[in-house]
Structure 1
């Protein structure tokens, strides 16, 4: 992983960690959390299909 990818991943990880507890989230934050989880699932599936 290059430095830019690692920095982007670390930023994403920080944002994602903020949304781990769904009880403290507004409706909009809850939807964002679900979208991030779906994005990660799709990325994992695509990476498995490529290799």
Structure 2
């Protein structure tokens, strides 16, 4: 997984832009996940904090 992220970072000269994109995607995933969850709970996360 980290190798893929490193390759993506190489394609972008502005790493701040990449961080912004990643953060925005995580926020969208959490919002979308809470909307489609019948109980309204956020997306479950593993103990290490990564998305399941």
Q: TM-score range by the shorter chain?
A: 0.3 to 0.5
- Bigger relative contact order, structure 1 or 2, given CA contacts below 8 A and separation 6+? 1
The structure with more radius of gyration: 2
Greater share of helix residues, 1 or 2? 1
Taking structure 2 as the reference length, what is the TM-score of the superposition?
A: 0.47
Taking structure 1 as the reference length, what is the TM-score of the superposition?
A: 0.48
